[in-house]
Chains A and B, each alone.
Chain A
């Protein structure tokens, strides 16, 4: 059961790395935090929840008494809660970024039109919307595991 509880931490780490790449592609000015600090903050939060969960799991499973078992379980649950919390912050930052990208695109189109310029070829990533949908799905389902 320890493996099952800490596996989602690595999934979220992978998701965080992916968003850093996407932010760089669409321009860091759309994001609240720069991709570098953003990766640093969320990977640190990930490590913290990983340590809390594995230490709690270890304490719970080696405890000799019922009280020791429950204190370990509580540490483990606090690790899970921290993971859900950091993920919520992540989702909010993500949402702001995606909305900013949309606004930015509309603004660029309008400036090009006003200046009488032809729109440059789109830099849109193939599978961008499927990424957003699958990310939302994974983020909403992984804490439930």
Chain B
């Protein structure tokens, strides 16, 4: 397992050694990256939407040839995809820092 060692700390269940083993039932939300768990379906819908728009924008650049505009929009859409992917990760484990940073 990975992450910081939390064994024996306040509000942590006895069988937990590392933060990655935590679940909202076993650990205090004080150790979580946020104090709520994001909704899975909402974030999946956003990820699907932004991925769809990314593909559409990528195809549209060839007939319209607006390189600068499309480059900026594609960067933005890619970042949104990464962000919502991270939020889906946060739904599965709110105690990890990597999905939160994404």
Interface residues of A (CB under 8 A from B): 1-4, 6-11, 13-14, 17-18, 61
Contacts and interface: CB of A to CB of B under 8 A. Distances in A.
A4 B72 contact: no
B59 interface: no
B44 interface: no
A105 B69 CA distance: 27
A13 B83 CA distance: 19
Interface in B58-86: 68-69, 72-73, 75-77, 79-80, 82-84, 86
A1 B80 CA distance: 9
Contacts of A9: 76
Contacts of A13: 72
Top 10 nearest A-B pairs by Cβ distance?
A4-B83, A10-B76, A3-B83, A7-B79, A14-B72, A3-B82, A3-B79, A10-B75, A13-B72, A11-B76
A18 B69 CA distance: 7
A11 B72 contact: yes
Given A1-B86, A13-B72, A17-B68, A61 B79 contact: no
Given A61-B97, A61-B100, A4 B69 contact: no
A17 B79 contact: no
B94 to A, nearest CB: 12
Contacts of B83: 1-4, 7
B3 to A, nearest CB: 14
B76 A2 contact: no
B101 interface: yes
